[in-house]
Amino acid sequence: MKRSKIRMLLQSPHPQDLVLVKGWVRTRRDSKGFSFIEINDGSCLKNIQVIAQSSLPHYDDIQKLTTGSAVAISGALVASQGKGQLWEIQASDVTIISLAPESYPLQKKRHSDEFLRTIAHLRPRTNKYGAVFRIRSELSYAIHRFFRDRGFYYIHSPIITGSDCEGAGEMFRVTTLNPGDRLPDGHAFDASRDFFGRETGLTVSGQLSAEMFALALGDVYTFGPTFRAENSNTRRHAAEFWMIEPEMAFCNLSENMDMGETFIRYLIDHALHNCSEDMELFAKFVDPSLMATLDHILTSEFVRLPYREAVDILSAAGRSFEYPVRFGTDLQSEHEKYLTEIHFKRPVILYDYPKSIKPFYMRVNDDRQTVAAMDILAPGIGEIVGGSQREERLDILEARMDELGMNRADYEWYLDSRRYGSVPHSGFGMGFERLIMMITGITNIRDVIPFPRTPGNIEF
RNA sequence: UCCCCAGUAGCUCAGUCGGUAGAGCAAGUGGCUGUUAACCACUGGGUCCGCGGUUCGAGUCCGUGCUGGGGAGCCA
């Protein structure tokens, strides 16, 4: 007999004479003549309540079932006599697949996030983490659907890369050389003897690849793992995270901002409509203002604010910031917080940043001082999207690279796209984990990724 | 990398003025019960993060290291 998912059984429109469920015991309570067993199989947040009568064979074993044990239950799906649930199973057979010993770390109580991080291999068995990772899965699907519905193609940009100048941070080194090979006879590490014959790293961005494909397929996106070897110790940073990077041909900065805003709204809306039960958990236990916040983002226009005007607003704020605000410096966390959480109280898209603080590929504006960059800042999260219109003019791009001391020879393939059929195009990157943080109200990135990688932490 | 805070039972924590350690939950045993974070009683459970120092005496004070958390920088 095929097992039924608990999610389906709890939605059943009618009783069923015989069903089979397999899952893990969340809790068990004895009553006179029978035992209540709550089973969870991960298909949804809710457990299903099983009634095991004392007349069942091996009832003494059933009474020893502990939290975390695995069981197969067959029986009848009937209307519950008790309050609190519509359906329950009157068991005709309880098969113990495996018994969890008393050392099972997860108890029938709330655990701290810090403790659960130390048992990241077991935490998906809890209500909260089960919910996060169901939502994460659903949002992944929604991302593909969003782009597919709009005629975008999904590009698999390389994970291993030789371009060290994607401009987005320190790279992890990829090598097949053994540590002992690196210093033969006291000589330094020799990349020309390595697997690829040159220094190689893990990708920090799929953007440059995506640009090449946008200039062929029109509208494309990447969605994959991204690696940053920065020694960042904050609740918003991980060394390995997932990023979504759409890239659109014949698209200017304004249309790029439209896409970013539409995209964020779509994903929030999708989570609310397709993960309502899991979302309620976060609204109830993690962030009581979550639903109001998400509703606000859905219904209010994002503020669009040139960098220069942001500087003016901050200068006129009448408060002293730890870091002074002036044109030519990047805005600090405290400034972003002021704009999104105090001044506007909604997401803000900042654009037209000073050229001096942005990478080579961003399109230089007519004022020659700013570039067509845009960052979407969300209240409580900070930067969730960073993007730009790309510099499509070969001469200006080359001049920028020279200005920044880059070796053009390393980018001949990239410059070819500006030599042959160059067109205005734009794109952005969105941190998937930061999106999940915004949607669930979870405040630490380590709690929205299955096995987080951060400086000094590679367990699991 | 810098600044701040914390580390006591399996988990969450309390521990006063420096005088050899406590609660709730969990676990075990028994009782009660269509229960649902079940309830009641009893029982077991400690390298007070490590190392060094001050002191007659350190969970408590000092130094140092480790681990965790928060903030900053960097960024998505």
ipTM of the complex: 0.89
Q: Give pairs for A395-401: CB < 8 Å, separation 24+.
A: A396/A364, A397/A360, A397/A361, A400/A360, A400/A364, A401/A360
Mean of the per-residue pLDDT values of chain A: 91
pLDDT at A89: 95
Instruction: Dump pLDDT digits (tens) for A323-369.
Output: 888 888 889 989 999 999 889 988 999 999 999 999 999 999 999 99
* Whether residue A159 has pLDDT greater than 60: yes
Q: Which residues 148-207 of chain A have a CB under 7 Å from nucleic chain B?
A: 168-169, 205
Instruction: Dump pLDDT digits (tens) for A59-89.
Output: 888 888 888 899 999 999 999 988 888 999 9
With contact defined as beta carbons under 8 Å apart, do A230 and A172 qualify?
Answer: no
Determine whether the distance from the CB of A63 to the nearest atom of strand B is below 7 Å. Answer: no
CB atoms within 10 A of CB A316: 8
Dump strand ranges (E) for A12-102: 16-31, 34-40, 48-53, 70-79, 87-98
Percentage, residues of chain A above pLDDT 90: 69
Determine whether the distance from the CB of A234 to the nearest atom of strand B is below 7 Å. Answer: yes
Determine whether the distance from the CB of A85 to the nearest atom of strand B is below 7 Å. Answer: yes
Instruction: Dump pLDDT digits (tens) for A416-425.
Output: 999 999 999 9
| Protein-contacted positions of strand B (CB under 7 Å) | 1-2, 10-13, 25-28, 31-38, 67-76
pLDDT at A59: 87
Average pLDDT over residues A244-258: 97
Instruction: Map residue A455 onto helix, strand or coil.
Output: coil
With contact defined as beta carbons under 8 Å apart, do A38 and A48 qualify?
Answer: yes
Q: Quick one: tokens of A129?
A: 């983490």
Instruction: Map residue A217 onto helix, strand or coil.
Output: helix
pLDDT at A320: 77
Burial class for A15, CB neighbours closer than 10 Å (0-12, 13-18, 19+): exposed
Quick one: pLDDT band at residue A188, thresholds 50, 70, 90?
low
With contact defined as beta carbons under 8 Å apart, do A360 and A416 qualify?
Answer: no
Instruction: Map residue A204 onto helix, strand or coil.
Output: coil
A451: Cβ contacts below 8 Å, ≥ 6 apart: A120, A121, A459, A460
Nucleotide nearest to A387 (CA to C1'): B76
Quick one: pLDDT band at residue A168, thresholds 50, 70, 90?
low
Q: Quick one: tokens of A40?
A: 């969870």
Q: Which residues 326-345 of chain A have a CB under 7 Å from nucleic chain B?
A: 330, 332-334, 336-337
Report the distance from CA of residue A128 to the C1' of nucleotide B10 in Å, as an integer.
21
Report the distance from CA of residue A74 to the C1' of nucleotide B41 in Å, as an integer.
36
Dump strand ranges (E) for A320-438: 348-354, 370-378, 382-389, 425-431
Nucleotide nearest to A168 (CA to C1'): B75
CB atoms within 10 A of CB A129: 19
Instruction: Dump pLDDT digits (tens) for A378-404.
Output: 887 788 999 999 999 999 999 999 988
Determine whether the distance from the CB of A431 to the nearest atom of strand B is below 7 Å. Answer: yes
Average pLDDT over residues A149-154: 98
Percentage, residues of chain A above pLDDT 70: 96
Determine whether the distance from the CB of A67 to the nearest atom of strand B is below 7 Å. Answer: yes
Instruction: Dump pLDDT digits (tens) for A29-68.
Output: 888 888 999 999 999 999 999 999 988 888 888 888 888 8
**Whose structure tokens read 């964020």?**
A264
Report the distance from CA of residue A107 to the C1' of nucleotide B24 in Å, as an integer.
14
Q: How many residues does chain A have?
A: 460
Nucleotide nearest to A80 (CA to C1'): B34
For residue A307, CA distances in Å to A65, A147, A203, A258, A326 come to 62, 29, 29, 18, 10
* Whether residue A184 has pLDDT greater than 60: no
Instruction: Dump pLDDT digits (tens) for A204-243.
Output: 999 999 999 999 999 999 999 999 999 999 999 999 999 9
Determine whether the distance from the CB of A260 to the nearest atom of strand B is below 7 Å. Answer: no
**Whose structure tokens read 């969730």?**
A384
